[in-house]
A = this chain, B = another copy of it.
Amino acid sequence: MSTFFLDISISLDGYVAGPNITLEEPLGKRGEQLHEWVFATRGWREPHGLEGGEDSADSEIVKKTVENVGATIMGRRMFSGGAGPWESDPNADAWWGDDPPFHNPVFVLTHHARESQPKQGGTTFHFVTDGIEAAFAQAREAAGDKKIQLSGGAQVAQQYMQAGLLDEIHLHVAPVLLGGGQRLFDGQTNELERVSSSESPSGAIHISYRLVK
């Protein structure tokens, strides 16, 4: 059965986005500091169509993460930054242009139905209106034996943890205190097992946990 994992950068004080999230600053104030480690890697830059980047241990971590992913799940806010009917969402076509970096079917959790949106490079956005379990079932169907990645955001991650469906959490803990914003953990009490950890030259720590079921 495919592994369902969350891979996310987080501040030392537990935030996956800073305060004051806007369309211009979708990661909130100072939120991009969480991702400095990944922006520096070739493993991240290449699938995002950017030149350069380092072939570091961090880059290997990124490559290994996206390797063999057969489906992706994300929340509506992560997709477009918006909420409510699509007609009034100024970013209804999302952040990633015609060639998004997913290269697999992406299931977007939303309350507002919409036709699937095929893009270049193997990414198709599907919009799921009947809840997290339905999205998970569709993602499993699409992924086959491959992994399923939960992209975020925090609320969706909390719902999947609560439902006991998530298998693994890979955290990249940035050496940053944001002082506010969107917390990844908020009342979850899942039992954890540490799987691995390593240092990033950026000052972050990579830590992986298995959720005990």
- What residues make up the interface of A, taking CB atoms closer than 8 Å to B? 12-14, 171, 173, 175-180, 185, 187-190, 192-194, 197, 199, 203-205, 207, 209
Minimal beta-carbon separation of A7 from chain B (angstroms) = 15
B192 touches A176 (CB 8 A): yes
Name the contact of A197 in the complex, choosing from B177, B180, B190, B199 (C-beta under 8 A). B199
Per the bound structure, the CA–CA distance linking A187 and B181 in Å amounts to 10
Main secondary structure of the interface of A (DSSP, over half): loop
Name the contact of A175 in the complex, choosing from B199, B203, B209 (C-beta under 8 A). B209
- Can you list 26 contacts pairing A with B, beta carbon distance less than 8 Å? A12-B171, A12-B192, A12-B209, A13-B185, A13-B188, A14-B14, A14-B185, A173-B207, A175-B192, A175-B194, A175-B209, A176-B192, A177-B185, A177-B188, A177-B189, A177-B190, A177-B192, A179-B185, A179-B188, A180-B187, A192-B203, A193-B203, A194-B203, A194-B204, A194-B205, A197-B199
Oligomer copy total: 2
Minimal beta-carbon separation of A197 from chain B (angstroms) = 5
Q: Which residues of B contact A176 (CB under 8 A)?
A: 192
B178 touches A189 (CB 8 A): yes
Per the bound structure, the CA–CA distance linking A193 and B177 in Å amounts to 11
A13 touches B14 (CB 8 A): yes
Minimal beta-carbon separation of A14 from chain B (angstroms) = 5
Q: Which residues of B contact A204 (CB under 8 A)?
A: 194
Q: Which residues of B contact A197 (CB under 8 A)?
A: 197, 199, 205
Q: Which residues of B contact A203 (CB under 8 A)?
A: 192-194
Q: Which residues of B contact A194 (CB under 8 A)?
A: 175, 199, 203-205
Minimal beta-carbon separation of A194 from chain B (angstroms) = 4
